[in-house]
Amino acid sequence: MSLDSSRSASSTGQKSKRSVNSISSNPSSSSNNKKHKKNTNQKTLGAVWGAKSPSSSRSSFRKSPFSDFGSYMVHKNRKLHNQFDAEASSSSHSGLSCEKPIFRGISIFVDGFTIPSSQELRGYMLKYGGRHENYFSRYRVTHIICSNLPDCKIKNIRSFSGGLPVVKPTWILDSVAANKLLSWFPYQLDQLVDNQPRLLDFFAPKNSLVSKDALLQYENEDTSFKGSEQKDESFPEAGQPLLHSQQISGESDDIICQNTDILIEEPTVGSEKSCKVKIVEMSNFDAEGDSNVKDELQTNLHELSVSSYCSDNQDSKGLPSRLSYRSHSTKDPDFVENYFKNSRLHFIGTWRNRYRKHFPNLSKGFKNMDSNPNDCTGSQKTSIIHIDMDCFFVSVVIRNHPELKDKPVAVCHSDNPKGTAEISSANYPARDYGVRAGIFVRDAKALCSHLVIFPYNFEAYEEVADQFYNILHKHCKKVQAVSCDEAFLDVTDLEGEDPELLALTIRKEIFESTGCTASAGIAGNMLLSRLATRTAKPDGQCYIPPKKVDDYLCQLPIKELPGIGHVLEEKLKKKNVQTCGQLRILSKDTLQKNFGMKTGEMLWNYSRGIDNRHVGMIQETKSIGAEVNWGVRFKDSKDSQNFLSSLCKEVSLRLQGCGVQGRSFTLKIKKRRKYAEEPVKYMGCGDCENLSHSITVPVATDDTEVLQRITKQLFGFFNIGKPYK
């Protein structure tokens, strides 16, 4: 009930996509899912694929990742307000460390029963500068610790160790006794000795974590497929005799490749046709009990998306066989699950749902500006703080590596200087070289050859985010979470407090508690405080007083405004608009005519520093979905069906995890564009067309089997593989 206010305020009535649901229907509703809650919420929670790049942008992006994306990164004046920096560093970091950090860079995972116990080993690791992981991850763990095992278990360990050293616990004990890191080589598990990779360089002082990746690469390097190396973008390799040859059985072509025949002639390298599928499902809540207004069911939309690449024949040799290791949609039966486990975008995309469960009462727009409907009631001007962690993923993983603080560091799955893994976050020294989130690691290495790469540590991000929000909630009731590292605070009501001092205090606490720095922007509305944060970074804060607003905005490149991405930027550039000052010249009418009513108004307002949003207006979830656009390769229709099936399962789990059901469902697919070349990105989806169909069913569901039926039907709408029609 309270919620409609939020939506109506801005949108002037209807046009809201789906009705909003009533009150509390959400968690309470279906009683049945109680038990799921615990399990599911943790790792599930899904998402939808965003159909990111339009054709135009896609191609430009491909050619020069930097040019249109982060090109300028306006380098922030770190100036003013940099206080506690020095002082805090002394007091802050808890010290588990007074001992010589002989295990620096070492991260162990203890498998099974050991003497001494896993807990004791953990104690040693922490005390001597190392790490201990409770869960195995090939990216975080550098050594597996394990006692000799029965043969039947050995096989298991061999397969999951992924080539990491498997070492006896005495390695730790002896190293501690010697007060230096001994080579693990003599301590390998007896049964595995023959198979150990030679990884002596592991201990290269720098960061062993990285070297692991590097080594793996070297092994495979030569076999890397040529297609993607350099030229790939230039021309469609005309020749390429493809192994194509005959095709498959009738089956394969029907599903996927609709224009198979045509495609075959295409320049495409590998004989694959890509095609993507995306499914979205929408649904209403099962309001069950409160029937009240049936229309209130909030519709909850649930999307599934899949993208696939189908290769029509030749499952045999050629490129594909080489790719077949394990992470590949048709090769790995648990592909979807593994994929999500390692996806950074999945992590940040689902973070919000985890936050909701973690801070149930705080996450819903806290009664928020309750009374004052239109507020704006002048009396006191509102005061908003925006706060954002500096290069979050990097800061967290280098907390215990002070020597790296001023060196260029980035977080990425791979350190392969020829690889197409994406940089997730780069610290400020790295940004000086032009390295930034989203570029390929090979491009990053080209910009900065000594860039240090760290692997992800999702558990740590989760933990730091919790500390971050605990601190924010402690100081302010009106907190609107934006993402795992970013939030708005409405501090208007905290009259006794000077916002700038408060920001200082909060940042200091964050640093002391997490070892990571945050920056803050303080201003009269959300737009301005957010912009202020950008100029404050890194490790600073910035207040924009009302009088300075005009000066501040006038020169500001429009791309800096939230809501203006690369497409809008280009469109405006064509009209000769590059700064807010220039944007102001256009009338609201013109803008609305060119960009639509809402977008036009937004542009007009933002260019003047006007923003009427309120902190804390968070609505109920409207949609839940899951999508995969990487590593999807289908050989025949069965593969695609299996894949859709796993997505249905995933979505079903996520719905249950949230305690909601859906009535409206959308399937999205990606289909390889006719003249698309081989994807530049390893296991990527390349240049695709995005298609979607949706359907609304009479009764809301979260049942896997029902989803499968619906999905099948939706899939049929695409007529994939039926050239005529």
Ligand X SMILES: Nc1ccn([C@H]2C[C@H](O)[C@@H](COP(=O)(O)OP(=O)(O)OP(=O)(O)O)O2)c(=O)n1
**Sign of the C-alpha dihedral computed for residues 134, 137, 143 and 147 taken in this order:** positive
- Could you tell me the two tokens for 477? 């009731």
User: How far is C-alpha 633 from the geometric centre of its chain's CA atoms?
Assistant: 22
Dihedral sign for Cα atoms in the order 701, 707, 712, 714: positive
- Alpha helices, H only, 575-636: 580-585, 588-595, 597-606
Nearer to Mg ion, 533 or 701 (CB): 533
Which residue, among 619, 623, 606, 610, has the nearest Cα to 692 in the 3D structure? 623
State the residue for tokens 């990216």. Answer: 139
Based on the residue annotation, tell me whether 237 is a catalytic residue of this protein. no
Taking the complex as a whole, how short is the minimal distance between the CB of residue 400 and ligand X, in angstroms? 18
Strands (E) located in 403-503 = 409-411, 425-426, 452-454, 479-483, 486-490
Q: Which is nearer to DNA, 167 or 564 (CB)?
A: 564
Helix (H) / strand (E) element for 657: namely helix 637-658
Which segment (326-334, 361-369, 389-397, 548-556) binds ligand X by CB under 6 A? 389-397
Using the rule CB under 6 A, which residue among 213, 266, 303, 390 binds ligand X? 390
Window contacting Mg ion (CB under 5 A); options: 194-202, 383-391, 558-566, 711-719: 383-391
Among 51, 199, 216, 389, binds Mg ion (CB under 5 A): 389
Cβ of residue 528: shortest distance to ligand X, in angstroms?
17
Find, among 693, 570, 670, the residue nearest to 50 by Cα.
Answer: 670
CA distances in angstroms from 432 to 72, 171, 440, listed in the order given: 11, 41, 16
Identify what 623 binds: DNA, Mg ion, ligand X, none; CB under 5 to 8 Å per kind. DNA
Q: For Mg ion, which residue of 133, 253, 443, 485 counts as binding (CB under 5 A)? A: 485
Q: Could you tell which of Mg ion, DNA, ligand X, none binds residue 382, using a CB distance below 5 to 8 A set by kind? A: none
Please state the closest distance from residue 678 (CB atom) to ligand X, in A.
24
CB closer to Mg ion, 465 vs 685? 465
- Which 415-444 positions form the footprint of ligand X (CB under 6 A)? 424-425, 437-438
Q: Is 139 in the site for ligand X (CB under 6 A)?
A: no
State the number of binding residues for ligand X (CB under 6 A). 16
Compute the least distance from the CB of residue 461 to ligand X, in Å: 8
Under a CB-based contact definition with an 8 Å cutoff, are residues 247 and 255 in contact? no
Of 392 and 665, which CB lies nearer to ligand X in the complex structure? 392
Rule CB under 6 A: choose which of 389, 553, 558, 632 binds ligand X.
Answer: 389
Q: In whole angstroms, what is the distance from residue 625 CA to residue 301 CA? A: 7
Partner from DNA, Mg ion, ligand X, none contacting 537, C-beta within 5 to 8 A by type: ligand X
Amino acid residing at 625 = G
- Given Mg ion, ligand X, DNA, none, residue 213, with its beta carbon under 5 to 8 Å by kind, binds DNA
Q: Choose among ligand X, DNA, Mg ion, none what residue 679 binds, the Cβ cut-off being 5 to 8 Å by kind.
A: DNA
Distance CA 85, CA 78 (A): 12
Binding at 425: pick from ligand X, Mg ion, DNA, none (beta carbon under 5-8 Å per type): ligand X
Q: Rounded CA gap, 180 and 196, in Å?
A: 23
Cβ-contact 49, 669 below 8 angstroms? no
> What DSSP string runs through 205-221?
SS-HHHHHHHHHHHHHH
Total residues interacting with Mg ion, rule: CB under 5 A: 5
Under the criterion CB under 6 A, does residue 413 sit at the interface with ligand X? no
The CA distance from 153 to 140, in Å, is 22
Dist CA 289 CA 181 (whole Å) = 63
| Residue closer to DNA (CB basis): 176 or 423 | 423
- Out of 7, 537, 668, 672, point to the residue binding ligand X (CB under 6 A): 537
The residue nearest Mg ion at its CB is 486
Q: Which residues contact 619 (CB under 8 A, 6 or more apart)?
A: 3, 6, 7, 20, 365
Sheet holding 452-454, edge to edge: 425-426, 409-411, 452-454
Beta strands in 30-184 (DSSP E): 107-111, 131-133, 143-146, 166-167
Instruction: Candidates 121, 391, 409, 680: give the one binding ligand X (CB under 6 A).
Output: 391
454 scored as a contact of ligand X (CB under 6 A): no
Tokens of residue 152, six digits: 């039947």
Residues 109 and 118: their CA atoms lie apart, in Å, by 9
| CB closer to ligand X, 296 vs 486 | 486
Q: Cα dist. 180→122, 237, 403 in Å?
A: 17, 55, 19
Contacted by 539, from Mg ion, DNA, ligand X, none: CB < 5 to 8 Å by type = none
Q: What sign has the CA pseudo-torsion 401, 407, 412, 413? A: negative
Smallest distance from Mg ion to CB 465, Å: 11
Q: Which partner in ligand X, Mg ion, DNA, none is near 227 (CB below 5 to 8 A by kind)?
A: none
Pick what 89 binds: DNA, Mg ion, ligand X, none; C-beta below 5 to 8 Å, kind-dependent: none
Asked if residues 709 and 699 have their Cβ atoms less than 8 Å apart, the reply is no
- Is residue 428 a contact point for Mg ion (CB under 5 A)? no
Q: Least distance (Å) from DNA to the CB of residue 119?
A: 28
Q: Which is nearer to DNA, 260 or 305 (CB)?
A: 305
693 binds, among Mg ion, DNA, ligand X, none (CB under 5 to 8 A by kind): DNA
Q: How far is the CB of 666 from DNA (least distance, A)?
A: 7
Residue 109, CA atoms < 13 Å, CB-side half-sphere = 20
Minimum distance, C-beta of residue 201 to DNA, in the bound complex (Å): 14
Per CB under 6 A, which of residues 336..355 are in contact with ligand X? 344, 348
388 is an interface residue for Mg ion by CB under 5 A: yes
45 contacts which partner out of Mg ion, ligand X, DNA, none, CB within 5 to 8 A by kind?
Answer: DNA
What's the min distance (Å) between Cβ of 538 and DNA?
Answer: 14
Q: Taking the complex as a whole, how short is the minimal distance between the CB of residue 567 and DNA, in angstroms?
A: 3
Of 85 and 551, nearer to ligand X (C-beta) is: 85
Specify the residue, 69 or 225, whose C-beta has the smaller distance to ligand X: 69
Residue closer to Mg ion, measured from CB, 18 or 613? 613
Q: Select from DNA, ligand X, Mg ion, none the partner in contact with residue 393, using the beta carbon and a kind-dependent cut-off of 5 to 8 Å.
A: ligand X
**What residue type is assigned to position 447 of the chain?**
L
User: CB of 661: closest distance to ligand X in angstroms?
Assistant: 31
Question: CB of 387: closest distance to Mg ion in angstroms?
Answer: 9
Torsion sign (Cα): 343, 348, 350, 351: positive
Stretch that binds Mg ion, among 113-121, 206-214, 384-392, 717-725 (CB under 5 A): 384-392
Helical H segments across 385-457, by residue range: 392-397, 428-431, 441-447
- Exactly one of 281, 486, 611, 678 binds ligand X (CB under 6 A); that residue is 486
**Inter-residue long-range contacts of 588-594, CB under 8 Å, 24+ positions, other chains counted:** none
E strands, 393-454, in order: 409-411, 425-426, 452-454
The catalytic residue among 272, 296, 486, 650 is: 486
Of the residues 486, 509, 650, 687, which one makes contact with Mg ion according to CB under 5 A: 486
Q: How far is CA 361 from CA 34, 290, 342, 357, in A?
A: 18, 21, 30, 9
Strand 688-701, strand 486-490: pairing: unpaired
**Looking at the annotation, which residues are catalytic?**
486
Q: What residues line the site for ligand X (CB under 6 A)?
A: 344, 348, 388-393, 424-425, 437-438, 485-486, 537-538
Q: What residues line the site for Mg ion (CB under 5 A)?
A: 388-389, 392, 485-486
